[in-house]
Amino acid sequence: MNAWYDMTAPAERDLLVGFYDLNGYVKYARTADPLVVFSLLAGYFDLTAGQIERAGGKFIKAIGDAGLAAFPAEHADTGVRAFLDVQRKGDVWLRDNGYPGRAQIKLNIGPVACGPLGGHIKPFDVIGTTVNIAATLTGRGFTMTPAVFRALEPETRKLFKKHTPPISYIALSDTHRD
């Protein structure tokens, strides 16, 4: 059986889309040796991509210090819990490897255009308003749209609190800072 993201042509699909990137990266990269930075990111994305994919998601790509990943919308609970795990274990890994910041996670759910895109290799990618909204969410910890929160089971919802304005949900362990 093929994975949900193995496709030969573009399609529209409802996905949980997540971006995660490193707080303080620009400041860190300004003074660190570029090969040290590259090595740090390579190790970090090896760890986090593995976490995403073991949970049934797809690590789509690294974009500098940011990662883009997705899960089928019908597995939103699994996806949200995987992103929480990426943040928790990734932050420990970063600290153990000398990085002074932590990851911020931004999630949205909804329709995307997805499929093979870009160059002659054409790896799986996602585009659309759902992706753009996830990319532009504000917050310094773990942030999701109300649509993601509504897609969660009651037990998973208990891990979050409402944060306004604008309305978003953040992890219970995060403080209100906007």
Residue predicted with more confidence, 1 or 159: 159
Outline where DSSP puts E strands in the chain: 11-22, 58-63, 66-72, 103-116, 124-127, 142-144, 160-163, 168-171
Could you tell me how far CA 143 lies from the centroid of its own chain? 10
Report the alpha-carbon distance of residue 17 to residue 169 in Å, rounded.
Answer: 15
pLDDT the model gives residue 174: 81
pLDDT digits (tens, 9 = 90+) for 80-124: 999 999 999 999 999 999 999 999 999 999 999 999 999 889 999
Q: What's the pLDDT band for 1 if we cut at 50, 70, 90?
A: very low
pLDDT the model gives residue 176: 65
- Asked whether the predicted pLDDT for residue 178 surpasses 60, the reply is no
Tokens 């190790």 locate to 43
pLDDT the model gives residue 170: 81
Tell me the one-letter amino acid at 11. Answer: A
Q: What's the pLDDT band for 125 if we cut at 50, 70, 90?
A: very high
Q: What is the dihedral of CA 136, 139, 143, 145, to 10 degrees?
A: -50
pLDDT digits (tens, 9 = 90+) for 131-172: 999 999 988 899 999 999 999 999 999 999 887 666 677 888
* Class of CATH domain 18-171: alpha beta
Residue predicted with more confidence, 173 or 149: 149
User: Do the beta carbons of residue 79 and residue 57 sit within 8 Å?
Assistant: yes
Report the alpha-carbon distance of residue 108 to residue 95 in Å, rounded.
Answer: 27
What is the pTM assigned to this prediction?
Answer: 0.90
Distant-in-sequence, close-in-space partners of 37: CB < 8 Å, separation ≥ 6: 28, 29
Q: Which uninterrupted H or E stretch holds 42?
A: helix 34-54
